[in-house]
Amino acid sequence: MTAAQRSRRSCLAVPGSAPRMIEKARGLPVDQFFLDLEDAVAPLAKAEARGAVVDALNAGGWGDKIRTVRVNALDTAWTYRDVVDVVEGAGAALDTLMLPKVSGADQVRWLDLTLFQLEKALGLPASSIGIEAQIEDAKGLAEVDSIAASSSRLEALIFGPADFMASINMPSLVVGEQPPGYDVGDAYHYVLMRLLTAARANGLQAVDGPYLQIRDAEGLRRVAGRSAALGLDGKWVLHPAQVDEVNGIFSPNQRDYDRAENILDAYAWYTSDEGGRRGAVMLGDEMIDEASRKMALVVAGKGRAAGLSRTEPWQPPQD
């Protein structure tokens, strides 16, 4: 599995200035967490939070979770010091940096070059630290194709719904929900499809942002299900109560996973010399071909990343 294919079903937001929340995050079954230096940290607490984030990364105990730090946006006075202090202090214990409010490819390239210099200076493996770009305003969405193609370090594009809603003057205070009066479909469909298409065209993952109504489990299922149905890879979670729900929504069920693996095995066998070099065959009641194989790869990949195991392996027909 490449870095950009790592499972990101659930990504937990953790304030970098909150030691108790950092400690609790270690034990949650999320695929990814990010220690936040941006919105969740007050301006006067930024410098102290950098040290806390470095200590938390170096202390370990994160298992196989993707270890991420969200730095401040490039229109602030804090970004450069965020990057330098975190990478110099804990670069070997860091998987990705998340850059918020990305509105152009030049911003990602700046971070790429800065990381290149830091890795050189610190003796870290080249390109060992990936980048995740948050698309949070109209300009960022308009430039999403060039952003997605801007760096080989990029692993994921992330939708930031709250700032995006503000940037287009959407008259709603409920993040991720449909705006009042919009009753003709999904107000976010274009945004998510635009981001997803740019991500897939460049071999990246696409992740949906948070659902802020922590106690509304039905709302979370509805919003997360919408993103999962489109093909996004995961969603942010803000509270432990959201983790299992989101993990389940972004994982295939056992039946679909078994079916996908069986399609891959069957197609590989039937297209071989032993199987008769056939490109289109019946598997049960379904005709499978190369297009079937490609679709099965998606479902099987998600299942493997989620840790599913096969229960009904396919066997070649016996003569």
The C-alpha atoms of residue 11 and residue 9 are separated, in whole angstroms, by 7
Beta strand residue intervals within the chain, DSSP E: 10-15, 32-36, 66-70, 96-99, 130-135, 154-159, 205-208, 234-237, 281-283, 286-288
Question: Exposed e or buried b for every residue in 141-155, given b needs 16+ CB within 10 A?
Answer: bebbeebbbbbebbb
Query: Is 259 annotated as belonging to a binding site?
Result: no
Positive or negative torsion for Cα 142, 146, 149, 150: negative
Q: Where are the alpha helices (DSSP H) in 38-104?
A: 46-59, 79-90
Q: Answer whether 16's CB lies under 8 Å from 45's CB.
A: no
Q: Is 206 helix (H, G, I), strand (E, B) or coil?
A: strand
Overall size of the chain counted in residues? 319
Annotated binding site: 70, 136, 163
Annotated binding site for substrate: 70, 136
Annotated binding site for Mg(2+): 136, 163
